[in-house]
Amino acid sequence: MIGFYDYTVVLTYISFASAISGIFCASTGHPRWAIFFLAFSGLCDMFDGKIARTKKDRTEDEKNFGIQIDSLCDVVCFGVFPIVLCYHLGMRYFCSMILLVFYGLAGVIRLGYFNVMETKRQSETDEARKYYQGLPITSMAIALPLLFVVSPLLHSHLAFEVILHILVAVVGLLFITNFRVRKLSVKELILLVSVIAAAVLVILFAWQWWWRTIRGI
């Protein structure tokens, strides 16, 4: 078979499978499970690079394949998948289409640029990257679940839709804005993962209780 199948790319493949599962959930009326799969894809993406770097004897082909397959999967996981999910969450207007096209295009441009720069960087050094240029595309796997959790604080679905539109526009713009984002440390990653995990658990298993608590019912 062509391709690489060692442990350095397993999380990337799992992330991709999770995203496809989430697209099915979003398309069949199960948004909470779709949010879960989005967050899970983000979790896999946070750690796939760290795992890949534990293999010190990677060939140049393995390194380049890792860069390419990671970005290709990211296009689906954090580009196409959020677009499908946002459509089913209410982004169905003409302006929504424009924003979603912009979001997807910005994500692809960011990933293409990252591939070029990362290939160049890895040819010069084996050190781990300390900063990102622009907002990482994985960020939507954090932003959407958190928005979903705080949605009971909003007074109407219209307010949720407005904030969702703004979120997509801002995140898409930050994908292609030239600024540096420091990579999180392991402790910061664990804290972030814990927050997202708590949010996802609320969405999946305590949604009615959370809704009633926030609404004071």
Residue pLDDT, tens place only, 77-118:
999 999 999 999 999 999 999 999 999 999 999 999 988 887
**Global pTM value:** 0.89
Q: Which CATH class is domain 10-215?
A: mainly alpha
The answer, yes or no, to whether residue 201 has pLDDT greater than 90, is no
The answer, yes or no, to whether residue 217 has pLDDT greater than 50, is no
- Mean pLDDT score of the chain, rounded to an integer? 87
* pLDDT, average across residues 130-140: 88
The proportion of the chain whose per-residue pLDDT surpasses 90, expressed as a percent, equals 48
Whats the size of the chain, residue-wise? 217
Residue 139 pLDDT grade (very low, low, confident, very high; cuts 50, 70, 90): very high
Rg for the chain, CA atoms, rounded: 18
**Residue 133: what are its φ and ψ, rounded to 5°?**
-95, 115
Nearest to 205 by CA among 149, 140, 151: 149
Nearest to 46 by CA among 25, 23, 15: 15
Residue 140, Cβ density class (10 Å: 0-12 exposed, 13-18 middle, ≥19 buried): buried
The reported pLDDT for the residue numbered 126 is 66
* pLDDT, average across residues 126-136: 79
The reported pLDDT for the residue numbered 124 is 67
Q: How far is the C-alpha of 52 from the C-alpha of 68, rounded, in Å?
A: 13
The proportion of the chain whose per-residue pLDDT surpasses 70, expressed as a percent, equals 92
Helices marked H in the chain: 10-27, 31-52, 60-75, 81-88, 94-124, 140-150, 157-175, 186-205, 207-215
